[in-house]
Amino acid sequence: MDRKFSALLGMVMPPLAFVHGKEAANDTHSSLAIHRSRFLFFLLSLLILVFGLSVNSHGVGLAFEDLLEEGGLVFQPPTDFKKKPLHGAFSGFDQRLMHEDGTELLLLVRPLSRIEINYDDPHSAAPEPNSVYSMVFHAYLGRLSTRSNTPTREYSEEQANALFNADWAAAAIFDLTGPLAEEKKQGLLLAIHKDNKADVYCLFLFDDPQKETIDKGIAALSFSK
């Protein structure tokens, strides 16, 4: 992982045993996790090309509050953030907030009950929504990041549960590409997943990451107990 992005992730994420541990077994765990993520992203791309797999989310355009309710989520608007209109490069998101220091927080909530996976291979069953969260996370990174293999970190199961009441969570920091790059230089994408509930994507945009601001945004959203 590049030192710059590793340092930034370390600034906004809790310590991860397999990243910061000193034992060789932890280094092996980290390496295997990275290779697994890359393999899954490759597999998703292959499925799209060969079998015509696509992931659709019905209900896009619903009120943000309705999506939260369907996904079993609790949202406490972070202090010093103000709601902003969704237009232009921001039109595909469900909520947009801006901190007074210029940091933006964009939210996507995808209740699993509304996700439909189109899969045309007659020889095997289609993946189910509870199994594609990591692949979709990497697919989003592929659209947002200037890099094709953006470094990522996964929270441990204990951390994901304690912080978000989630079954899985991961994050990545990267240089932005595409329309959002006209707004800010860098992004941090946080993804959280809870089985049979929802996938949630929190995208922070900034030129200079502010730990206190990002911490407020990260703490704003979680699955209900």
pLDDT level of residue 12 (50, 70, 90 thresholds): low
Q: Kindly tell me if the per-residue pLDDT of 108 is higher than 80.
A: yes
Q: Enter the tokens of residue 74.
A: 């609790």
The overall average pLDDT reported for the chain is: 78
The larger pLDDT score, comparing residue 114 to residue 3, is at 114
Query: Is pLDDT of 144 > 90?
Result: yes
Q: Which residue has the tokens 């079998």?
A: 51
Of the candidates 135, 139, 204, 142, the one whose C-alpha atom is nearest the C-alpha of residue 177 is: 142
In the predicted model, what is the mean pLDDT of residues 43-62? 45
What was the pLDDT predicted at 3? Answer: 52
- C-alpha span between 133 and 221 (Å, rounded): 17
- Going by C-alpha positions, the residue among 62, 111, 60, 107 that lies closest to residue 81 is 107
